[in-house]
Amino acid sequence: MDVPSTSFATLANLEEQAEDGHNAIYSASEDFLGYDESDDPYPELLGFVEAQIEFCDQFLIRIGEARKRLAEKKAILEKKAEHERLSGALAKAKVPVIQYLPPYFKDENMMCPPQNEEAKHKLQYTTYDPLIKEDKKWTPQELRMLREAVKESVIHAGVQKFIDKKDVLRSKLQRAGVDTAPEEIVAWKEELEAINRKIQHYRNGIVDSQQVDVIDYSCVDWLKISTIEFKGSRSAATLRYKWLNEQCPRWNSGPWTKEELEKLKEYREDPSFTSWAALAKKLQTQRSPYQCFERYRSDLYNKSKDWTKEEDDRLIALVK
């Protein structure tokens, strides 16, 4: 600041002097008996006061300029602090890793192009691809989050369907005129009340499988669940397969019985075996085709073959 550090002290001294001079004026006026206009002290005192006022005005101008400069510095500092805060938040933000995993060429819907000959060959002969990332083991928290997310998505899909019907009925009631039969208006109102009850049931978790497709769960927004709930740590396809093959409530997730395992082995090794879906349906224990396949491969399939070099390398890498 351009104002000297002694300005406040100087101003205080001037005020004290002005106050002393003011008192002196009144004391002199009270004690003065023979007043002479030629010795009038007031012009000098008034000039002195006006000089003080002018000094204060100049001082206020300097204070205002200094305050303006400080306000500008404050605004710059606040802007820098906000920029650093946002930069730190972006640096710490989680980026969906699915965007940087193979296959690297995806469209805006995260869909991949058709497989080329090399990819088909790897898929047919199960060639180990070092670029494919191993799936992480599912944690109980992830499974619980998947169940809750699917439930919310199914409820939202059902409620949205009823809301669309509700909007149509409201539009009919608003357009109803004198030509509309009273019985028809009553029927529309009753249907509107029934829809409100169904919406409430859905929001309470009571889902009607006739109204919402819970066979292949096509009503579920898997990409949204992958992006929002799982932050991109699990792909939409992985979530869908995990749900349809294992976590869907219509599948039996209990322990396998001895009788089930015996039938599973018998049906699989039967020459008439066609598919795991047909086997699961024939088993009649509410097991999914994937559950049947996984159990047979892990417990009942004893066919051995020579280890390939790729399998050896992969096993060594996993052990390390």
CA-wise closest residue to 152 among 98, 102, 111, 205: 205
Q: Domain containing 164: what range?
A: 140-223
Confidence at residue 294, expressed as pLDDT on a 0 to 100 scale: 84
For residue 240, tell me if it sits in a domain: no
Of 27, 31, 30, which Cα lies nearest the Cα of 19?
27
Successive 10-residue mean pLDDT values, the chain, 320 residues = 45 50 45 51 85 90 91 90 76 62 72 81 63 72 90 80 80 77 82 81 61 63 88 86 82 86 88 86 87 84 72 81
When divided into structural domains, the chain yields a total of 2
The answer to the question of residue 171 being in a domain is: yes
Q: Is residue 230 part of a domain?
A: no
Within a domain: residue 69? Answer: no
Q: In this structure, what DSSP letter does residue 102 have? A: S
- Does 216 fall in a domain? yes
pLDDT digits (tens, 9 = 90+) for 169-196: 888 777 777 777 888 888 888 888 888 8
Asked whether residue 213 falls in the same domain as residue 144, the answer is yes
Query: If we measure between CA atoms, which residue out of 242, 261, 214 comes closest to residue 142?
Result: 242
Q: Determine the pLDDT at residue 63.
A: 92
Distance CA 101, CA 132 (A): 8
The answer on 203 and 155 residing in a single domain is: yes
Same domain membership, residue 256 and residue 182: no
Burial of 294 (0-12, 13-18, 19+ CB in 10 A): middle
pTM of the model: 0.43
pLDDT of res. 300: 77
Q: What is the pLDDT of residue 141?
A: 92
With beta carbons less than 8 A apart as the criterion, state whether 256 and 295 touch. yes
260 in the same domain as 202: no
Per-residue pLDDT, 1: 43
* pLDDT given at position 102: 64
Residue 65 in any domain: the answer is no
Determine, yes or no, domain membership for 48. Answer: no
Residue 304 pLDDT: 58
